[in-house]
Chains A and B, each alone.
Chain A
Amino acid sequence: MVKKFLRLLYALFILHAIWAVAALLVNRPLLPTPWAVYSYFPQLVGLDLWWNIYFSLYRLGWSLFWATVIGVPLGIASVRFPKFGQLFDPLVYFTYPMPKIAFLPVVMLLAGLGNASKIIMISLIIVFQIIIGVRDAVSQVPSSMYQVLEVLHANRWTMFWAVTWPASLAGFLSSLKIALGTAIATLFFTEIYGTQYGMGYFIMDQWNRLDYLAMFGGIIVISVVSFLLFSLISLIEHYCLRWQKDK
């Protein structure tokens, strides 16, 4: 634990050192020094910072929820129901590499400029990562685990709760960590239009106002929020997948 914390401090120090050196070399207002940004932080609170964080988290939370609710069952079903998998897998294969963000105008036209289109867009992008992560995890379960229970006449529910669900949970949590990064990047993009709240809007708005200190403050805040969410998923993973510890 202490080692992990020290490693985190080391990474923070290196990143800030690179940032500081770059700021001193560029020596222009568009790239302020870390200490200038941090000393400006109290003024950010006056700029509705908490509301911006709240709206971003609201959109992110719903997106992750829908991607999970849709992605996990589809990922499991594509393995456990081979006939469904035969029909569904080619669709995933063809649509996964597609740049879903290109559908943004269509989603905007159908769902409007509000939260719905932002949530749909983020969900649409990350749901594929979750489907694939869960599908791969479930497909890697050796058939012997099912066979041992099948010969004991275990019913489908027992096999689901004893074998499929724990296996899918491992795939889900690791894909969720990857999806989180994508989700936040997409969130930033979707908050550029049709809103006056959200960290994406906040950063771009400060950029338009040439307030680079607030803009960098926004970048720091969204990074910290991402890091905290990532840590939360890691914590859940650590607890739920304790059987993988020291593997």
Chain B
Amino acid sequence: MFQVRDLTVKYQAKVVFSKLSFELADNTILAVLGPSGSGKTSLLNAITGLLSHQGEILLNGHPLDTKAQTIALVPQDYGLLPWKTVEQNVLLALKVKEKKGGKDQPKLQALYAALGLTSLLKRYPHQLSGGQKQRVALARAFALTPDLLLLDEAFSALDLVIKQKAQQLFLRQWQETPVTTLVVTHDLKEALLLSDQILLLTPNKPQLITNPLGDLDYDSRTEAKVLTQVLSELEAEVKRQW
């Protein structure tokens, strides 16, 4: 269980949000939805400890601790080191966390294969397309078998077709190794396609809603009729709130 209790975050003396509380069941995905400046990234930075805050952030009943627990982050620009190959980028994360994943080659090779990276392992990031870089960042995150996975606008830089493929690939991999996940996004459709729950970061009172498509698999969620209907309902809700 991931819990946020009475979280207050200030950025340059301005309150970004005050006394924010929500809970997320184990191995579920929460989409944090909000426009620019709504505090999505601040929430993420508070969770990762990069931004000081008041209130409690608990994972499995214990205060979130980057030392004792493994948190994997997939930033918007993927955060790959350009001087390291695909494989070295993944292995560095494992080495830093002193995880033995690097030695578990079959598991790692299976992960590379699942994300279509096997033939790209010796390439440097500048030799990859946007979609490939994104998959490397996902591989690095999943290889860590994290306690908490954070995706910060991780699909927003991709074009429509690649984005759908990447989302599908992400969900498929996530279902193989489920992990408590926060997906920060400004895209309503992405929130509906990926999450079990949606946290609307509204200016007055943040609202936690259950994704009506949460029980469906990715392909069923993308079916136009269902998606369009739910999307328009969510859009109306968002407009009402903002």
Contacts and interface: CB of A to CB of B under 8 A. Distances in A.
Nearest to A150: B50
5 contacts: A149-B92, A151-B66, A151-B73, A153-B66, A243-B83
A244 B126 contact: yes
Nearest to B140: A148
Interface string B138-173: 001000100000100000000000000000000000
B126 A154 contact: no
A162 B92 contact: yes
A243 B82 contact: yes
Interface string B31-51: 000000000000000001110
A241 B78 CA distance: 21
Interface of A: 142, 144-145, 147-154, 158, 162-163, 166-167, 241, 243-244, 246-247
Contacts of A167: 83
B75 A144 contact: yes
B194 interface: no
A243 B67 contact: no
Secondary structure call for the A interface: helix
Contact of A144 (B77, B126, B127): B77
A154 B48 CA distance: 13
Contacts of A144: 75-79
Nearest to B93: A152
B126 A142 contact: no
B73 A148 contact: yes
B71 A152 contact: yes
B218 interface: no
B127 to A, nearest CB: 8
Contact of A243 (B50, B73, B78, B126): B126
A166 B96 contact: no
B143 to A, nearest CB: 12
A243 B84 contact: yes
B200 interface: no
B77 A150 contact: no
Contacts of A151: 48-50, 66, 71-73, 150
Nearest to A163: B81
Q: Which residue, B48, B70, B82, B140, has most C-beta atoms of chain A within 10 A?
A: B82
